[in-house]
A and B are shown apart, each in its own frame.
Chain A
Amino acid sequence: MIQFDTVHKRFPNGTTAVHDLTLDMPEGGVTVLVGSSGCGKTTTLRMINRMVDPTSGTIRVGGKDVLEQDAAELRRSIGYVIQQSGLFPHRTVLDNIATVPLLLGWGRRKARARAAELLETVGLAADAGKRYPHQLSGGQQQRVGVARALAADPPVLLMDEPFGAVDPVVRTQLQDELLRLQRELNKTIVFVTHDIDEAVRLGDRIAVFRTGGHLVQCASPAELLARPADDFVADFLGAERGLKLLSLTTLADVPQAPAPEGGAWTLRLDATGAPVAWRHKDAESADIPVRPLRDTDSLLSALNESIAAPSGLVARVDAAGVLTGVSSRDDIHEHAGVAHEQGREGVPSGARGTARAAQDDPHTPVKGPGQTEPRAEDGTGDTDADGAPAPTTAERSA
């Protein structure tokens, strides 16, 4: 969908922001550009909608050279979300969202109707539309920023550190929302961040940049975490990259056993069969609450839970929350090891620089109960398509 071909950007002051970048961003996936400040990730993003023009090389969006298109027209066809949202303080939320439709000449009524529809899409109350941006919280402003970018239903969405200025709790919510929206809309998203955790959470593929505008590695989160190309990437991923890898693998393959009976700890269930707490046989100490996990939860949260549980056992439940069995700390450990091995071996070599096939099913139901959001990742990759997930999404008509 978006192709960079030996793109070079040198600014008038002599600094090279992007160094001979060749990169393919396939349709319908989230490509995250990460790196420390000054690595050229934002410049790369801004060259896609011609906020910055390259010094040399070509950039194509949907097969068309961006430099051959009128800059303003091009930008109207590409969604753009920036940090602090960049909302127009003198326009109501509704009119902010309606910006591009109005520029495209839809007429005020139709543009407003579309804007009202988008308020709901991004999870804002209808009465927020009449307010001014400064009357909203930071998180709400970011949602408006996303809605504004989506207004003309562009196939491509550029997001420049959109969640950089909100607190961690809100940031997690916004990330969840973005994943939900992406499952619904299946846009081609380019996302810039300096936060590697955010990159791992959101990205279908992650491009790591080094100062001076060099692309070091572009791979799926799993491959990146398992096989960093060099020490720079490894350092950037941080000491806990093994654990981060586990956050990409689900609990589904870990064997289950029936809940223990008559041991030191027994599992108390409620009337529906949902696990409630661990109870010691002496019943002297108070019950220890249990956080049951589903198959879609990550191996990382299973590991965490197994360490916290008094018996070393993790309660497993089905989609309805009914107990299906327990998994032991050892089994979870073993699978964590397997996940790592698969990460090291399971990815075909030579995949660097190009996006790997759609490695996860965008329709996997995710979201643990208010916890970290795991993503389905089986390590082997569902390599049936050339990087384009099936367009099962209900396309929104404008």
Chain B
Amino acid sequence: MTVDWSWISDHTDDLTTLTLSHLQAALTAVLLGLVVSLPLAVVAHRVRPLRGLLLGLSNVLFTIPSIAIFVLLLPVSGLTRTTTVIGLTIYTLVVLLRNTVEGLDSVPAKTKEAAKAMGTRPLRTLLTVELPLALPVIMAGVRIATVMAISLVSVATYIGDGGLGQLFTDGFQRNFPTPVIVGVVLTLLLALVADALLVTLQYVLTPWTRRKRSA
């Protein structure tokens, strides 16, 4: 199984397009997942009875196979990018919701008490105290969700999308390994780069956690 380098140089444009399309699908899904999961997490954190329900529901969603989610969405949104994004979003939701709730839980009660005692209103406490302190745990969730989404985009190749995943179908049908290898390597690279960027972002966003690490 050798790599046909000339194929790669002949297809740089296609590869760029597929990579960007792949990245776009994954990132849109993570962003949508964040938008949906943040308010849900706050509700789950504050309203105890809803907590078990929301987390349980998201766990059930996680047990549904990714290919099944895409297929189940077909009657709704057809063979489109929307189906890919919705399917991936459902997947990221599970990780993001759980980590955000855990992050909010991890904020020390004393800190919240202190904010309250100094006259901070609930919404302000949430935005200026709880969310920042929950950020390390939330970011851990964002990292997992991003890596997962990037690796899962290729599943959507079965419903005619899938970014770099199309290289797998292509290579499979033509019994030609090069696109498959390139697809796998590019997917891994995307995931690694995205993860590294997120680590950097977290480092910048949470300066108070740095001293702890060096000590």
Judge A-B direct contact (beta carbons within 8 Å). no
